[in-house]
Amino acid sequence: MRNIENSNEVVLEKHDDVVKDQQKDRPLRTVRSFVKREGRLTKGQERILAESPYLLSHTIVDEVWDLDQIFGRQNRARTLEIGFGDGASLSKMAENEPARDFLGIEVHRPGVGRLLLDVEEKGLTNIRVIDYDAVHILKHAIPDGALDCVQIFFPDPWHKKKHHKRRIIQPEFVALIAKKLCSGGRLCLATDWEPYAEHMMEVMLAAPDYENSVEGFIENPTHRMPTKFEARGRRLGHGVWDLVFLKR
């Protein structure tokens, strides 16, 4: 996710939404974990974003989704990836597991376009994508207990202390994800920033809805595909920390 969102080719937009505290009837600022950057679309990306049947419409973001209808089949094996970057890893997972459905959320439209072009080229039918805020989709669109895996790989670590509140892995967020996971469902995380890995572990160990699948971090993970971003980091000598927690 971070390799795309941290590109320098685009303009920042406002960081915060304004929502209403229903009990006190006053504005309440909600911190976003991302800064949306548009970037340039190729002609191919423009075409696929306009034509792909696998790109979900913003007109349905306030509805509770019937995932069987959206994917065109009944299935309990469903993975949500939040912030899939250029989509190469997600596409490969979908190619390797045709019996599993994959839902991807990414706010960077060139990355969405790249994924959809890859989906078209490979003839994949088990991916659906939306370019929207993941928190909104989780709150309003994903049914409770509908997923058996949620994965968030290499989210922006927001290095500066004053920005730590923008880190996506926070107690409230993982509690929201837990509602969407079935019993025994997995939350899979990865980062190449050790302080963020420690933060992730602290949040997850304190979360009452989860238990760690191993003692500590996952060594030599096999549950995800290596990413270009990860490979570049390893060449630079960066470590990678993986976590897999199970919903109780």
Handedness of CA 226, 227, 231, 233 (dihedral sign): negative
Task: Return the pLDDT at 121.
Answer: 98
Task: Return the pLDDT at 236.
Answer: 85
- pLDDT (average), residues 163-176: 95
68 is in an annotated binding site: no
Catalytic site positions: 156
How does residue 159 score in pLDDT terms, banded at 50, 70 and 90? confident
How does residue 10 score in pLDDT terms, banded at 50, 70 and 90? very low
For residue 80, the cross-strand partners are: 103, 150
17 is in an annotated binding site: no
- List pLDDT tens digits, range 221-234: 999 988 776 777 78
How does residue 151 score in pLDDT terms, banded at 50, 70 and 90? very high
- pLDDT (average), residues 80-101: 97
Is 90:151 a contact under the CB 8 Å cutoff?
Answer: no
Q: Is the pLDDT of residue 120 over 60?
A: yes
192 is in an annotated binding site: yes
Q: Considering only 10-14, 48-52, 93-97, 101-105, which range has the smallest mean pLDDT?
A: 10-14
Burial bucket for residue 115 (CB in 10 Å: 0-12, 13-18, 19+)? buried
Task: Return the pLDDT at 2.
Answer: 47
Task: Return the pLDDT at 237.
Answer: 84
* Residue bearing the bigger pLDDT, 204 or 14: 204
Q: Is the pLDDT of residue 35 over 80?
A: no
How does residue 48 score in pLDDT terms, banded at 50, 70 and 90? very high
Pick the CATH number of 43-247 from 1.20.1250.20, 3.40.640.10, 3.40.50.150, 3.40.50.300: 3.40.50.150
Q: Is the pLDDT of residue 27 over 80?
A: no
Q: Is the pLDDT of residue 241 over 50?
A: yes
Task: Return the pLDDT at 231.
Answer: 79
Task: Return the pLDDT at 99.
Answer: 98
21 is in an annotated binding site: no
Rounded distance between C-alpha atoms, residue 188 and residue 246, angstroms: 9
How does residue 32 score in pLDDT terms, banded at 50, 70 and 90? low
Rounded distance between C-alpha atoms, residue 241 and residue 11, angstroms: 31
Rounded distance between C-alpha atoms, residue 26 and residue 33, angstroms: 22
* Residue bearing the bigger pLDDT, 196 or 17: 196
- pLDDT (average), residues 147-161: 94
How does residue 12 score in pLDDT terms, banded at 50, 70 and 90? very low
Q: Specify the DSSP element, H or E, that contains 182.
A: strand 181-191
228 is in an annotated binding site: yes
20 is in an annotated binding site: no
Instruction: Supply the pTM of this predicted model.
Output: 0.84
